[in-house]
A and B are shown apart, each in its own frame.
Chain A
Amino acid sequence: MISLIGFFSLCLSTIFCIIVLIPYSILKINIKYLLFIFRSSTFLVCISFVSLIFAYVTSDFSNFNVFQNSHSDKPLIYKITGSWGNHEGSILLWVCMISIYGFLYSIFSKSLNNFKITVLKIQSALFLIFAFFIIFTSNPFLVNSVLVEEGLGLNPILQDPALAIHPPMLYLGYVGFSLVFSLAIASLLKKNSHQIWIIEIRKWSMISWGFLTAGIALGSYWAYYELGWGGWWFWDPVENISLMPWIAGLALVHSLLMIRGEQAIEKWIVFLAILCFSLCILGTFLVRSGILTSVHSFASDASRGLFILLIFFVTTGFGFLVFLIKSPSKKNDLHLLLINKTSALIINNILMIIAVLTILLGTIYPIIVEVLTNTRVSVGGPYFNSTVLPILLPGFLLMSIAPALSWQTNKIKKFKLYVMCFLILSAVVLLQSYLTDFNPWGFIGLILGLWIIFASILSIVLRYKFSITIKYIKTINSFIAHIGVGVMIIGITVSSIYQKEFNFNITVGEEVIIDNEILKFKEIKLIDEKNYQSLRAVFSLEKKDTILSYIEAGKNYYPVSKTITTEAGIYHDWFKDVYITLGSENNNVWFIRVYLNPLVSFIWIGVIIMLFSSIIAVIKK
């Protein structure tokens, strides 16, 4: 019953969107009514999604989707999140968000009605494409042809708070770029003289980028403590394809700054906006069609893959075609100097686009090779580390001073002071790394990170008078964002280069020494939870006879899906994480692996600073 309501409202909202798309020359509807129709379509698609959630909450196994992905023993929160933890539900969420973004735009936009309607029409067209995709290939409201009393359960590895909100966050980011795309295309179709659309595109791309950042960070935080591999980024194809729109979005957000100076590179902005959303759909295609192997194993189906490929081709092709035919003709003379803000931003953009292309190549290379030569290759960490990082290095160096550059002149205020500080800092870091074990990458990363933080703070202190107002924070916002990046770079560098790994075979009661601390194996606990059994090895971390913390590492066994997940035990400190995974047992001797990850917390702190700054950027003055 509830599934029927869900499906019916989905279809109705699709029909409403078709009405919105009918050209004005055929169907003369007042703009007020057109907006009303669009908004009711949003309302209906939300009802549709809520009814799917309702079916999950009530464990309605007559719905095939619920049967396959839920189980009545699951905690309520994971029943709810289960509704988007599968292919069909997540695409419904995607469609729902396309509509909601259009809805919010229709309320908050200050554009002329004419322009607004064009944007909403493009948004409706996107909605329509994906709605058809749901209705024809991945309907979450199918009736179960197998009679059952119990569901098959959600992938237990996904039963995790960080991962429960990771897909919606990521989708809010991805789908946000659909509105950016619509705005860009509308700006090409309606050559309106005023520039409101640039301000709007700046706002919406900032919002989308913020959500994307949060989504990616949550995903990698999850990978850090759930997969038990001791790392947080694996250059997994699914991670890469979320990183590509992120970098492109970053380029977009930065190039939109240029209108603060004298010139807007409209063409470039429009291109980036189209590219961003294309990369988002490409990501969906590669994940959902299942043509990439990765830790994210989704059900794959050739017809679905073809359909999304078609969506990807049509949408992106349409975007670039409009871009080709109606490309903005306005002549912009860029005020380029050797080092002014404009040229710094252009270099930044070029580097980011090269980085995106490099990642793209590495990600789809296995597909190309397999088609051409029928051999299977995999491109992993080494390729990305040795190609993407060097590309980004000059960008990192540039970003430390870029916000302090001027638009108009070649000069930097107090240039000598900056140079002096940089030299002193380099000398200190060099000395430090020379005295400990020297590692070129560690050295470069540390210098860059510290220098970015240092230079940004220096610029803030030198250039702006301190006051506690939002206006002040907004003026130094770009420096804040860059400090976040600096903190993150330090975290990434130190945690990946100075990570230490220890392996032990240990029995209960034994203790081992890790650097300065003692790790004691206290006991083994077996607990029956509601929908799983947990096995925990309890360790105590001691330093000079005082217990710092207890660490519980172990495994969960989910009887419904007969899977075992590892639960890494992590002791968080500001300066290091002690990360323990429990291996197999043999005659009461347990195999454990201990990682000492220094400064991992800096990565998350950096992300939080970046997020904070993106929120500040969206808030009105």
Chain B
Amino acid sequence: MDWSYYNAIFKHNSSDKKMKKIFLILPLFLLTTMCLFFLLFILLNKDPNDPPSALLNKDMPIFSSTNLYNDDENLISNKLKGKYTLVNFFASWCTPCRAEHHLFFEIKKLQPQLYILGFSHKDDPSDSKKYLEEEGNPYSFVGLDQDGKIAFEFGVFGLPETFIINDKGKIIFKHTGPLTKEIIDNEISKLF
């Protein structure tokens, strides 16, 4: 069988040129449709992976910590229920912590009822005290986390790191790295 007969039919078809154009436009059309779906998918923020932190919207971990200034005073996580708490991990050896430190005073001014809890992470107590003398102490309570156990429970990634826990004990905010004014204005202030 010879196909040249069919070839001839195709060639002398008058709508041949139009068909060709459609074939050439088809890839562009498909591409645009596909990209549109991708765009919608991204814009609608349908992230199939986990939320940013595994702990977000979960109950805060249970911990107990000693006061930096008073060895006899203990803080247990259960006592934090019923009020909004900000948890901040810091250390005297952490330079970026110094950068964000003054912002806690601002947060305190904005949200006077907020309980600001600081954890001195893997740090010598005397160094931490000196650090708070230099930079000021915005914390309602400074807990010791010398062995990093509490940070581990919170899944701390690197210093500084900040969490906000609501009155029901759920973690509603998490930020790794130094806080900025923008984060406070755009994200934190909306939580209350």
A residues with CB within 8 A of B: 67, 145-148, 152, 271, 275, 278, 285, 289-293, 297, 300, 302, 305-306, 309, 312-313, 316-317, 320-321, 323-324, 327, 333-334, 336-338, 343, 364, 367-368, 370-371, 376, 410
Contacts and interface: CB of A to CB of B under 8 A. Distances in A.
Given A146-B177, A327-B24, A293 B31 contact: no
Contact of B48 (A278, A302, A376): A376
Contacts of B38: 285, 289, 291, 309, 367
B9 to A, nearest CB: 13
Contacts of B94: 146-147
Contacts of B45: 302
A597 B94 CA distance: 54
B3 to A, nearest CB: 4
Nearest to A360: B34
B1 A309 contact: no
Given A146-B160, A147-B94, A371 B28 contact: no
Given A146-B96, A305-B42, A333-B7, A317 B37 contact: no
Nearest to A313: B35
A358 to B, nearest CB: 14
By Cβ-Cβ distance, the 4 closest A-B pairs, closest first, are A336-B3, A146-B158, A293-B48, A324-B24
A300 B47 contact: yes
B69 interface: no
12 contacts: A145-B96, A146-B177, A147-B95, A147-B96, A271-B27, A289-B38, A317-B28, A317-B31, A323-B27, A337-B3, A371-B46, A376-B48
B28 A321 contact: yes
A246 B47 CA distance: 28
Contact of A371 (B7, B40, B93): B40
A47 B41 CA distance: 37
Q: Which one of B4, B34, B38, B157 has the greatest number of beta carbons of chain A within 10 Å?
A: B38
Residue among B31, B46, B96, B159 having the largest count of chain A Cβ atoms under 10 Å: B31
B62 interface: no
A11 B35 CA distance: 29
Contacts of B75: none
A290 B37 contact: no
Given A293-B48, A337-B3, A370 B159 contact: no
Interface in B1-37: 1-4, 6-7, 24-25, 27-28, 31-32, 34-35, 37
Nearest to A297: B49
A578 to B, nearest CB: 35
Contacts of B159: 146-148
B44 interface: yes
Interface in B140-165: 157-160
Contacts of A367: 37-38, 41
B158 A370 contact: no
Contacts of A309: 35, 38-39, 42
A313 B3 CA distance: 39
Contacts of A364: 34, 37
B178 interface: yes
Interface string B119-151: 000000000000000000000000000000000
A608 B10 CA distance: 43
A301 to B, nearest CB: 10
Contacts of A146: 94, 96, 158-160, 176-177
A370 B31 contact: no
Quick one: which of B6, B28, B42 has the most chain A CB within 10 A?
B42
A291 B42 contact: yes
Given A152-B158, A317-B28, A323-B27, 11 more contacts: A145-B96, A146-B177, A148-B158, A291-B48, A293-B48, A309-B39, A323-B24, A337-B3, A364-B34, A364-B37, A410-B1
Contacts of A316: 31
B96 A324 contact: no
A306 B7 contact: no
A287 to B, nearest CB: 12
Contact of B28 (A275, A312, A320, A370): A320
Contact of A336 (B7, B32, B39): B7
Contacts of B93: 147
B10 to A, nearest CB: 10
Contacts of A148: 158-159
B42 A289 contact: yes
B30 to A, nearest CB: 9
Interface string B37-67: 1111110111111000000000000000000
Contacts of A333: 7
Contacts of B39: 306, 309
Contacts of A300: 47, 49
B177 A145 contact: yes
A272 to B, nearest CB: 11
Nearest to A290: B49
B68 to A, nearest CB: 21
Contacts of B35: 309, 312-313
Nearest to A305: B42
Given A145-B177, A317-B28, A371 B49 contact: no
A305 B37 CA distance: 13
A306 B40 contact: no
B158 A302 contact: no
Contacts of B4: 336
Contacts of B48: 290-293, 376
Nearest to B6: A336
A309 B45 CA distance: 14
Contacts of A147: 93-96, 159
B161 to A, nearest CB: 9
Contacts of A321: 28
A367 B36 CA distance: 11
Contacts of B160: 146
Contacts of A313: 31-32, 35
